[in-house]
Each structure stands twice: as C-alpha cells, then as structure tokens.
Structure 1
C-alpha cells in the first residue's frame, strides 16, 4: 500500500487535486470522497483493510479547498461544473473507467455533480458512507438540528473562535469521540478543519447545485447503498430515510446502531463488509 504520499492531478481549470491509491489495480475501482472540512485521512481504515485491498482498486482524493488540494479564492471556483471536472481529472489520472463512488457526508453530493454534468454512465454504483448530502437541496430538509445550531461557528471568520469550532466539529462526527478518537487521529481531523478558511467552507457548502438530470437519468437507475449511523448529528436519520427512499427508491439501507456520522470510522468492520458485498454483487463478481 502507498504511504499516503499521493500525487496531484490537474483539473480542467488548473486546480491541483491531491489523490492517492491503494489495493489491486486489477480489482474493482472505487473512488472515496471525504466530507466538508475533512481530508483523505477519513479513509485510513479502508486503506488498511486487507479484504478491500485484495478486491478493490481504491482511490481517494481531497476536494478543492481542502487539505493538500489547491485553495482557489472566490465563490466562482466552487461550482457544480468544477467539482464534476475534478472528479473526472482523478478518473483520468488513475485510469479509472466507470468506478464505484463511496461518498461521506458532503462528499456524497459530488455524485450528483458528476451525473448532472457528464451523464449517468460515468459511475457504476454509489455507497453513501453516512450522513450523505444527497443533493444540497435535499439535505436542507433533513440536516440535524445540532448541525444547524453549530454551523454559524463553523463559518465565523474570527481566528480566535475557529480552534474551539474545530473541536465542536470533530466531536460532532462521532457518537463517542472521547472513547473512539485517539489523540493522534484527532490531530489529523482538527488539522483538516483548521487548514480550511471559513470563506472556502461557506462557498463549498452553499454552492448552487442542479439535480434534474441526476434525478431523471441516474438516481433511480444506478445501484445505491446507504450505510448510516442511527445517531448521526449531521443528518437526522429518521428525517433522511423517507426523503432518500423517495428519490432513490431501490437504494439498499444498512442502519448501524449506537454510532454517529462516521460509520466508515466508527464501525469500519461493518461498513467495509457492506461496501465490499455491494460492490462485488453489483459487479457480478460475488461468488
């Protein structure tokens, strides 16, 4: 496995996007996309899982305005078109043809971007790894009250306030952060948040997103799997499920009890087993 050195691919507008790969290059391709104010480290457990490494060719990348990728300044750099082009640059850079996509939280919205801009045949299947922003419009109907309460602090430009906001954000991602997040890992998550200027966080989260073509040509036809923590504090699980089932009627749903917003971290063994089973079945490679 690569040691998270990674490399950069160049998007259509010249933005450098950091990405890294691992696993079997002859295996099923899966792209992993992290959430808002996070990094590729969100997928460290998956990139150390022997079963995934054996069966999948895994690529993770960091969204523009996050971590090691470029931070272009101005809302015009954070549009649906550009997010879709970043995804395609990663596919081209790593030679991926019709990959699966595993998106966490805000990262899941990239699926809509790609399908809307480049059509329904780019992605083989989708895994929503907890609290998915299915589309920006849909998320507004099931965002958790705690997230809405905390969000003004996440966008506050005051340097004095951001360290505390970072701790609140990281804690909100897990049900038991004191128990489940070792200090070294916590530093990585805090660092990812604090590297991002609040203005870019705002442009990333509040960007416009069209989804008519996604809904008509992709949402109901492409296989989807949702792995969701029951006690997610970013997306209200009970509100989200009927909305998600309305736009994704054939989506498989796996609810994991007693965890929060980050099933790929909090319940990695279960999450990874669901992911691998789904990818193998959809690919026709399930024994």
Structure 2
C-alpha cells in the first residue's frame, strides 16, 4: 500500500503549490504627474509612507514642475517615455488648478481634457491603471464647479476620479485647526497632503487606512523646490539644500480626517 501513498502526497503538494498565492517580488510602482499641488508637502512620498504603514508598500516616482500642465507633459513625451521604460501599476494625474474650469481661457479647458485622454490612452497601452486626482477651490461655489469639471473630464477619458475639493470643504468646517494650506495660503499644507494620501489609499486598496502614526522619510518640498519636469523617485535627494527631510503624521489626525470623509459619503448616499 505504501507504494501508492508517495505519489498521492506528491500530487497534493503540487496542487497546493499551484493554488497558493505567490508573494510579490517587488512593490508596485506608482507614477505621479502634475505640478506644485503634488510636490509641495510631497504627496507621492506621503501616500507611499501611509500605504507602507498599512502593509501595502509601493514605490512612488514623479514628474512634476511648478505651474505645469498635463498638456506640457504630453508635448515633451516625458510620461510616455517613463511608462514605456518602467512597469508602473498606476498613473496618478493632477492638473494645474483652474485649467479644467477654463480659468486660463477656453483653450485651457480643451487642452487639458485632450491631455487627460491622451495620457490615459498611453497608460492603458502599457497596462497601467490611471486615475485623476482632483485639485481644490476654497470658495464653496467654485469648489462645486471644479468638481463637476474634473469629474466630467475623467469620465470623458474613461478613468476614475478622486474628488478632493468637497472633502476639503467639509474638513475645513469640521477641523479648522488643522494645517490645510502652506504658509502662502494657496499650496497644500501638511493635513491637505494627508487628505490626498488617504483618498489615494482608499482608491488603491478599497479600504480605509488604519489610524496609526507614520513618518514620510523623504524631502518635504516647499513651493520653492528646484524641481524640473524630469522623472525622479519621490524620496530622491532634493535638488536644494535646506529642504526638510521628513514629515510625521499621527493616528489621531488620520482618525479625524476619516470620520469627516465617511460622514460626507453618508450624506451623499
């Protein structure tokens, strides 16, 4: 009888090895493309640190420049080259604030929507998922118009949209003591960067991050970053000396933000 046992055990082991999930050999890679609303506070690095603290590590690269538009990234071919050269899991696009609202003239709307569609096609061609990360407006009426314009542009490109501005409206009302803006009053402050990271995490994983302390060990850029529109890792050494080198976040702040975000979603339903 023993001569039949060994083949059966071998077969069972083979079947088990076939069905068991294989661990990933390397973290997922996410490419962020945008402007100072992405790099002030280093949204790509903070998002990666939050994900790592929750067991979903990924590597963040970015192509960012102050005042840049997505149409410029189409024209210079930098995103196309990056997508072709590296196996990215996700492409996160963020447009210059106001372009999709025609703040720079009617052509800015047309160019922006065209660029989003083009970059989405390039990503899909390379097997990369795409998402449009929203920007924000401080006035309630402008915020609503912005969300409508951004969601429409994302839908036209066939990609998901992460809404930021209306979440920020709710959070500024509920938690006015948090740091929503940088010292210039325009760029994202520390807690707005965290909001972006939480919303990205929810999109990538389908769940809320745990409320736990974490540190983003990377350059925390200010509006004067010295960054050019070239591919770089989010945690690469900064081009300018004196750039802060880390930012810490607390479980309490994450919990506060999630409570307001989830209440807002409850009202929408």
Tell me whether the two structures share a fold, i.e. TM-score over 0.5: no
TM-score range, shorter chain: 0.3 to 0.5
Choose 1 or 2 for highest CA Rg. Answer: 2
TM-score in terms of structure 1 length = 0.34
